[in-house]
């Protein structure tokens, strides 16, 4: 009979991730109920959808935590990558358009976002490449393959159009390659290329150029910030140290758009104050430090860089979301992992967390955590 030895996994990591997901359920309901009731006459509209996606995510997280060993991803790395590539290309021709972007693909009863799958697929692909060709990484010719791997995925995603995801994916892959030992000259070349790509994408879309101008001016004149950022800062500032109390946010009364998705953090700050916002930040700091420490105890190069990639992915996305909410970065459409209302993004974040949980069983010397 199949039996899972739960004792060999890091229970602290499991408990904190599950607690964050549960916290996200409460905050999605708190931030969306009034808006959902006003627009759709159902305060539970987003809450029920979120709970459904959490259920799907829990199944996926259970599978990646306890049923699928990391060697599966190495064995099928190329297949996973090419399936993801086909999906991001298919969305350009068969995808549904929303707010001027074509990012979603209907599969059965679900609407999925292929770019979310691509985030994990490319991490697996780069980890697989590094594990096989690490000695080549330090040479210029060794960077050709990973650059092609990255660009093949980024090109169709950028064409959706989506700039936030390519920036996130590039950052994660760059961090993985940096840890693998690429030369500093390659670091500068990659940074320059990324800057030119971002500049071209901003110029190509006038609304992005407007956002950038508002962002630059906001350093000297906060009133020049985008409406969302101003309302976000008002929410965070009005929460004080202890907050107004759960469910008592005023900004969610139709003042702050996307309060249950990209801008859920300001609602947390307003309702739960510095303590609540600080607890969220502390969780992601813990997850980052835990992942970095775990990567040193992996049994082989693939699992080490897979661990690093997943850790960078969750941490970088959280940093981007929190930075946008606090006006540090220009607006980007990236949700807060585990907490924001979401479909595919939530499921993939939970699946990624499951991979970290699975990797937590390995120890540097003994192979298995005792």
Examine residue 94 and state whether it is found in any structural domain, yes or no: yes
- Is residue 287 assigned to a domain? yes
Split into its structural domains, the chain has a count of: 1
Q: What is the pLDDT of residues 148-172, one digit of tens each?
A: 999 999 999 988 888 889 999 999 9
CA distance 27 to 335: 13
**Quick one: pLDDT at residue 223?**
65
Alpha helices in 205-245 (DSSP H): 206-217, 227-238
Give residue-wise pLDDT tens across range 17-33: 999 999 999 999 999 99
- Residue at 365 is within a domain: no
* 24 in any annotated domain: yes
Q: Using the CB atoms, write b or e for 76-110: b if 16+ within 10 Å.
A: ebeebbeebbebbbebeeebeeeeeebbbbeeeee
60-74 mean pLDDT: 95
Quick one: pLDDT band at residue 243, thresholds 50, 70, 90? Answer: very high
- Residue 349 near residue 53 (C-beta atoms within 8 A): no
Specify the pLDDT at position 67: 93
Q: Which domain holds residue 251?
A: 6-359
Q: Is residue 366 part of a domain?
A: no
Q: Which residues pair with 98 in a beta bridge?
A: 101
What would the pLDDT profile of 81-102 be if each residue is shown by its tens digit?
999 999 999 998 887 777 667 7
**Does 369 map to a domain?**
no
Domain annotation covers residue 183: yes
The reply to whether 50 falls in a domain is yes
Place of tokens 């950028």: 158
Q: What is the pLDDT of residues 279-331, one digit of tens each?
A: 999 999 999 999 999 999 999 999 999 999 999 999 999 999 999 988 888 87
> For the chain, where are the alpha helices, taking DSSP H only?
11-40, 45-62, 70-75, 77-94, 114-137, 144-158, 164-180, 184-204, 206-217, 227-238, 264-295, 301-325, 344-359
For the record, the structure tokens of 124 come out as: 């697996």
Q: Please indicate whether residue 233 or residue 118 has the higher confidence score (pLDDT).
A: 118
> How big is the CA angle at 79 (ends 75 and 84), to the nearest 5 degrees?
130
What pTM did the predictor assign?
0.92
């Amino acid at each position: 009979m199949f039996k899972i030895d739960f004792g060999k996994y890091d229970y602290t990591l499991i408990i904190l991730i599950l607690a964050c997901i549960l916290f996200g359920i409460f905050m999605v309901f708190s931030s969306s109920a009034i808006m959902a009731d006003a627009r759709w006459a159902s305060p539970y509209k987003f809450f029920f959808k979120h709970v459904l996606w959490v259920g799907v995510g829990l199944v996926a997280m259970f599978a990646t935590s306890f049923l699928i060993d990391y060697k599966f991803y190495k064995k099928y790395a190329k297949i996973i990558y090419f399936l993801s590539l086909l999906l991001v290309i298919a969305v350009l021709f068969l995808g549904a358009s929303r707010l001027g972007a074509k990012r979603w693909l209907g599969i059965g009863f679900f609407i999925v976002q292929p770019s979310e799958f691509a985030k994990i697929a490319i991490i697996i692909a780069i980890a697989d490449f590094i594990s096989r060709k690490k000695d080549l990484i330090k040479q210029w010719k060794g960077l050709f393959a990973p650059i092609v791997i990255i660009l093949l995925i980024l090109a169709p995603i950028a064409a959706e159009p989506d700039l936030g995801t390519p920036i996130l994916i590039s950052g994660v892959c760059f961090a993985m390659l940096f840890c693998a030992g690429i030369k500093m000259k390659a670091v500068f070349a990659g940074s320059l290329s990324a800057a030119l790509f971002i500049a071209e994408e901003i110029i190509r879309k006038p609304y992005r150029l407007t956002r950038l101008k508002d962002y630059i001016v906001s350093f000297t004149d906060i009133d020049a910030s985008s409406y969302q950022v101003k309302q976000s800062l008002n929410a965070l500032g009005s929460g004080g140290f202890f907050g107004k109390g759960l469910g008592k946010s005023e900004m969610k009364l139709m003042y702050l758009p996307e309060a249950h998705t990209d801008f859920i953090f300001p609602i947390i700050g307003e309702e739960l104050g510095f303590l609540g916002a600080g607890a969220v930040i502390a969780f992601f700091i813990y997850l980052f430090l835990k992942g970095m420490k775990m990567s040193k105890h992996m049994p082989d190069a693939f699992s080490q860089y897979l661990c690093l990639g997943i850790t960078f992915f969750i941490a970088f996305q959280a940093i981007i979301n929190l930075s946008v909410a606090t006006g540090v970065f220009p607006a980007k459409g990236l949700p807060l992992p585990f907490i924001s209302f979401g479909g595919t993004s939530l499921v993939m974040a939970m699946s990624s967390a499951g991979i970290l949980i699975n990797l937590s069983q390995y120890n540097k010397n003994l192979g298995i955590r005792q």
